[in-house]
Amino acid sequence: MKARYDAIYRDIRESIENGTYPYQGFLPSEAELTATYDCSHNTLRRALGLLRDQGYVQPVHGKGVRVIYQEPERTTFTVGGIESFHEAEERIRLDAQTEVVALEQVTATPEISFRTGFEEGTELTSIVRVRRIGGEALILDVNLFRAASIPGITEEVARGSVYEYAEKDLGVSIAMSKRAITVERATARDRELLDLGDIDYLAVITSQTFDAQGILIECTQSRHRPDHFCFRDTAVRHRV
């Protein structure tokens, strides 16, 4: 990314994460930072806004910008929050062995349309995958991709990263996603495909992903065994 504000954001974030700007300390003032980065007031503020939104700093009017970032514990598989968009999926993919359970073409029925938001009759590629981590089947992913946007998904692609395929090979740009987290009782299929033991509830992330055009290109259900699930989030108060 070439944007100035983004480079500044990343640079300051790096300094916070490596401890140059410690927890509960203050950043240099806007004036100093605009000098060191040789940028305008506006551009620096945009970078600071990103840091605030991501939970790294808390600007205090008339005083300074306080650092509130603390290293998160990484004992479980974290999704959301400070991590960037598909970083979590990436990390899971790296640590996990993926088994493709099913891969087929379907057409959106009225019921699918209602459940997913795809228009009725849309051609879809359906994938069911199991993620094994440390030999245990922990995550069941059920994806529906809009075939017109992401064509040519093979089992080969499904075993790796469909996102990487879409972005690198097809040039499709993923722009934003809406997620809902619920806790659901394990179904017969969950029990069959995952190593659940006596666990009968799963953490479920249901998400819709839109491309840069604002077109719905994917719906996913990611069903996690609860002892390996953690979702982190930072909420900034939108002043009232």
Q: Note the residues at the interface with a second copy (CB under 8 A).
A: 1, 3, 6, 24, 42, 50, 52-53, 55, 57-58, 60-61, 63, 66-68, 70, 76, 80-81, 84-85, 117, 174-184, 199-203, 210, 212-214, 226, 229-240
Rounded distance between C-alpha atoms, residue 219 and residue 26, angstroms: 42
Pick the binder of DNA from 15, 24, 29, 109 (CB under 7 A): 29
Q: CB 168 → DNA: shortest distance, Å?
A: 17
CA distances from 4 to 11, 39, 48, 124, 209 (A): 11, 8, 12, 39, 27
Binding flag, residue 31, DNA (CB under 7 A) = yes
Q: At what angle do helices 30-37 and 41-53 cross, to 10 degrees?
A: 110
Q: CB 237 → DNA: shortest distance, Å?
A: 12
CA distances from 150 to 155, 160, 175 (A): 14, 15, 15
Q: Which residue's CB is nearer to DNA, number 15 or number 107?
A: 15
Residue 100 partner contact from a second copy, DNA, none using kind-dependent CB cut-offs of 5 to 8 Å = none
Token couple for 219: 């719906």
Pick from 138, 137, 133, 111: which is nearest to 124 by CA? Answer: 111
Token couple for 68: 């509130």
Residue 40 partner contact from DNA, a second copy, none using kind-dependent CB cut-offs of 5 to 8 Å = DNA
Contacts (Cβ under 8 Å, ≥6 apart) of 10: none
Q: CB 165 → DNA: shortest distance, Å?
A: 20
Please identify, among the stretches 33-41, 132-140, 154-162, 229-237, the one whose residues bind DNA according to the rule CB under 7 A. Answer: 33-41
Q: CB 163 → DNA: shortest distance, Å?
A: 19
Rounded distance between C-alpha atoms, residue 34 and residue 17, angstroms: 21
Q: Which residues bind DNA (CB under 7 A)?
A: 2-6, 27, 29-31, 38-43, 45-46, 48, 59-65, 212, 239
